[in-house]
Amino acid sequence: MTQFINRSTLALGLNLKKILTICSVIGLVVACKETPKEQPVEKKEEVRDKDTVIVVKPAEEKPKAPVFDSTYDQIASYIAGIHQAKRSVLHIEEDSVWANYAASMDRSWTFADTVRHQLLRQWSDSESLASMSKGKTLFYPFSGPDFLNAHILFPNCKEYILVGLEPVGQLPKLLDKQPKETYGYLEAVNKSLQDILHSSFFHTKKMKVHFKTENVNGALPIIAIFIKRTGHVITNVEALKVQKDGSLEAFAYDSLTNPEFKANGAKVTFMNPNTYELKNFYFFSQDLSNTGLAEKTAFRHYLDSLKGYFTFAKSASYLMHYDYFSIIRTSILERATGMMQDDTGIPYKYFEPEKWDVTLYGKYIKPVKPFAFAKFIQKDLMAKYKSDSSQIEKLPFSLGYNQLPHKTNLLIARRK
């Protein structure tokens, strides 16, 4: 009997052990089923600000190409000598005459780029001009249509404002021209560009001839060429009138073709074809003498509305040395955050040490013809170049009236 009980007890114990084992397995399975699955977490870029608060930075959307009328860009490309594989708007044949013109433009551009433009870009980078003027407005008085040097030296500006005596003009009506007329127009354009591409400035007397209606017809075609040749796309062109209070009113481009419409200027909107960043270029045909900027004049009010801009002046005919250009000189000194110029701009004596940090470059020599007059010699500037000669950086390029690199001078003034 005792033996039976022991066997029964043993059998019961083994069965109980099996039961417990099975229950454990079932419990483990149930527990696994109840465990929630880990959800995938979207990766987000986190930026910590100075207060160590976590800020989630939203993903930046890739900019979209704007929709625009390509007519202006196609006209500009044609007169710039730039081939376009597809012209959906402007159907003009790129014949052998145009091909020769384009080749001539390429040669002139390559020469200027090799001799001067590359050196200017490198120097601008080394002096941080691009970063210093980033997002700012560049004001370039007495410029003519020289967008070229303005953009090479200050490529990151948001707006460019240029002022000269030249008429605004208009882009050529290529579809209305006979082939012979078009060839004559291209020849006139080529001639008008030779001075600035070979000597970095426009000759005033030649501009009066080149920019006549029967030739290039104003500053706008040259501006358009420079915008295209610096790698941009023109998205719009508008006519401008400066209102009595100094505000600008824009009109459709066709207004420029109306002889009764008196435009003060033109606005060209252009973009980087890679980033689609839009920028604005303004050209005003305006007398900047005290007479042209007399009190209560519209453009005087416009100038007074500009603040925080950077100024560039070169080959400025020493006009701001005269008392009858004191208004524009004072306006710049009161409103600009900085300035770069050669000795033809504002005289050195007006940059007060208490207000400006001035850095000199190159070498100062007496003004050359046709400005070789004693009244333009700045003795204080000459003395400063002499006393600081060991600290003044040489310039590897020519810019302005002095065509040899070792005879070019520049001044950069930064407001304190």
pLDDT tens per residue, range 75-99: 999 999 998 876 666 667 788 899 9
- Residue 19: per-residue pLDDT: 38
Q: What is the dihedral of CA 32, 35, 36, 41, to 10 degrees?
A: -90
CA distance 344 to 317: 6
- Strand segments, DSSP code E, in 168-264 are 233-242, 248-252
Residues 171 and 213 sit within 8 Å (Cβ to Cβ)? no
CB atoms within 10 A of CB 377: 14
Residue 253's contacts (CB-CB under 8 Å, 6 or more residues apart) are 72, 170, 236, 237, 238, 239
Report the amino acid identity of residue 346: I
Q: Which pair of tokens denotes residue 222?
A: 């040259």
Report the amino acid identity of residue 259: P
Kindly report whether the peptide bond that precedes residue 58 is cis, defined as omega within 30 degrees of 0. Answer: no
Is the model more confident about 35 or about 203? Answer: 203
pLDDT (mean) for 119-123: 93
Alpha helices in 200-280 (DSSP H): 204-210, 220-229
Alpha helices in 235-354 (DSSP H): 298-305, 326-335
Task: Tell me the three state secondary structure of residue 393.
Answer: strand
Residue 64 carries which DSSP code?
P
CA distance 229 to 77: 8
C-alpha distances out from residue 58 to 6, 39, 45, 275, 277, Å: 76, 21, 8, 19, 20
The answer to whether residue 26 scores a pLDDT higher than 60 is no
Residue 350's pLDDT band, with cuts at 50, 70 and 90, is: very high
- Residue 233: per-residue pLDDT: 96
- Residue 293: per-residue pLDDT: 96
Residue 3's pLDDT band, with cuts at 50, 70 and 90, is: very low
- Residue 24: per-residue pLDDT: 46
CA distance 365 to 238: 42
Question: Among candidates 190, 185, 192, 193, which has minimal Cα distance to 215?
Answer: 185
pLDDT (mean) for 164-184: 88
Residue 196's pLDDT band, with cuts at 50, 70 and 90, is: confident
Is the model more confident about 276 or about 209? Answer: 276
Least confident of 9-23, 34-48, 162-176: 9-23
Domain assignments of the chain as residue spans, ordered by start? 71-286
pLDDT tens per residue, range 122-147: 999 999 887 888 899 999 999 999 99
Per the prediction, the chain carries an average pLDDT of 84
Least confident of 254-268, 306-320, 331-345: 254-268
pLDDT tens per residue, range 221-255: 999 999 999 999 999 999 999 999 999 999 999 99
Torsion sign across C-alpha atoms 17, 19, 23, 25: positive
pLDDT tens per residue, range 276-286: 999 999 999 99
Task: Tell me the three state secondary structure of residue 357.
Answer: strand
φ, ψ dihedrals at 360, nearest 5°:
-105, 150
Q: Which pair of tokens denotes residue 318?
A: 């020493």
Residues 144 and 207 sit within 8 Å (Cβ to Cβ)? yes
CA distance 374 to 115: 31
pLDDT tens per residue, range 380-411: 999 999 999 999 999 989 888 887 767 899 99
pLDDT tens per residue, range 33-82: 444 444 454 444 444 554 555 656 666 676 788 889 899 999 999 999 99
